Amino acid sequence: MTLTTPMSPDGPPSVRIRDLTVVYRTAAGELPAVRDVSMDLAPGTVTGLVGESGSGKSTLALSLLNAVQPPGRISAGSVDIGGLGDVVQLRGDKLRQARGGQIGYVFQAAQNSLNPLKTVGKQLLDLGRSHDVKDLRALVAEARDLLARMGLDGARVLDSYQHELSGGMRQRVGIMLALVLNAHVVVLDEPTTALDMITQANILEIIREIHAERGLTTLVITHDIGVVAEVADEIAVMYGGRLVEQGPVRAVLGDPHHPYTRGLIQAIPRLTGDIDEAQALPGRPPTLTTIPDQGCVFRSRCALRMDVCDTVDPLFQSTGDRMVACHAVAPAATFTTTTSESEREMTPSRAWSGIGSGRREPAADGDGVVARETNEGDSA
Ligand SMILES: Nc1ncnc2c1ncn2[C@@H]1O[C@H](COP(=O)(O)OP(=O)(O)OP(=O)(O)O)[C@@H](O)[C@H]1O
Q: Please give the single-letter amino acid code of residue 271.
A: L
DSSP state for residue 113 in the 8-state scheme: -
Residue to probe by mutation, ligand 1, list 55, 63, 187, 264, most atoms within 8 Å of CB:
55
Q: What pLDDT was estimated at residue 377?
A: 32
- Position 280 scores a pLDDT of 80
- Please give the number of the atom of ligand 1 that sits closest to the Cα of 59: 18
| 29 CB neighbour count, 10 Å cutoff | 8
C-alpha to C-alpha distance for 60 and 221, rounded to whole angstroms: 10
Q: At a CB cut-off of 8 Å and minimum separation 6, what does 17 contact?
A: 37, 38, 39, 40, 60, 63, 64, 77, 78, 79, 80
Q: What band does 231 get if pLDDT is binned at 50, 70 and 90?
A: very high
Residues 6+ apart with CB under 8 A from 292: 240, 286, 299, 300
Closest residue by Cα to residue 81 from 18, 174, 127: 18
Question: Residue 49: exposed, middle, or buried by beta-carbon count in 10 A (0-12, 13-18, 19+)?
Answer: buried
Is residue 106 very low, low, confident or very high in pLDDT (cuts 50, 70, 90)?
Answer: confident
Find the residues whose C-beta lies inside 6 A of ligand 1.
24, 33, 51, 53-59, 71-72, 223, 287-288
The ipTM estimated for the assembled molecules is: 0.98
- CB burial string 71-82: b at 16+ within 10 A, e below: ebebeebbbbbb
CA 288 to ligand 1: nearest atom = 29
The pLDDT assigned to 113 comes to 74
DSSP 315-369: P-EE-SSSEE--TTS--HHHHHH--SHHHHTTSHHHHTHHHHTT--SPPPHHHHH
- Supply the pLDDT for residue 118: 94
What's the pLDDT band for 168 if we cut at 50, 70, 90?
confident
Contact 246, 323 (CB under 8 A): yes
Higher local confidence (pLDDT), 201 or 56: 56
Handedness of CA 69, 84, 175, 248 (dihedral sign): negative
Q: 45 CA distance to ligand 1 centroid (A)?
A: 26
DSSP secondary structure letter of residue 314: P
Distance between CA atoms of 143 and 46, rounded to whole angstroms? Answer: 23
Centre of ligand 1 from the C-alpha of residue 111, in Å: 20
Phi, psi of 16 (to 5 degrees): -125, 105
Per-residue pLDDT band at 159 (split at 50, 70, 90): very high
Segment 148-155 mean pLDDT: 91
How large is the average pLDDT for residues 168-189?
90
Instruction: Note the pLDDT of residue 293.
Output: 87
User: Quick one: pLDDT at residue 347?
Assistant: 36
Distance 64 CA to ligand 1 centre (A): 16
Pocket test for ligand 1, best of 21, 22, 23, 24 (most atoms within 8 A of CB): 24
Report the interhelical angle of 167-179 vs 197-214 (nearest 10°): 10
For residues 220 and 374, what is the distance between their CA atoms, to the nearest angstrom? 35
Q: How far is the CA of 344 from the centre of ligand 1 (A)?
A: 41
Distance 288 CA to ligand 1 centre (A): 8
Confidence of residue 282 (pLDDT cuts 50, 70, 90): confident
Highest mean pLDDT among 278-292, 309-323, 329-343, 361-375: 309-323
pLDDT value of residue 290: 93
Q: Which atom of ligand 1 is nearest to the CA of 70?
A: 1
How many angstroms separate the alpha carbon of residue 279 from the centre of ligand 1? 25
Per CATH, the number for 15-324 is 3.40.50.300
pTM (two decimals): 0.83
Q: Residue 122: what pLDDT?
A: 96
CA distance 270 to 283: 21
Going across the sheet that includes 323-324, the strands are 103-106, 185-189, 217-221, 46-50, 234-239, 242-248, 323-324, 317-318
DSSP state string for 238-268 = EETTEEEEEEEHHHHHHS--SHHHHHHHHTS
**pLDDT at residue 249 above 60?**
yes
Higher-pLDDT residue of 16, 100:
16
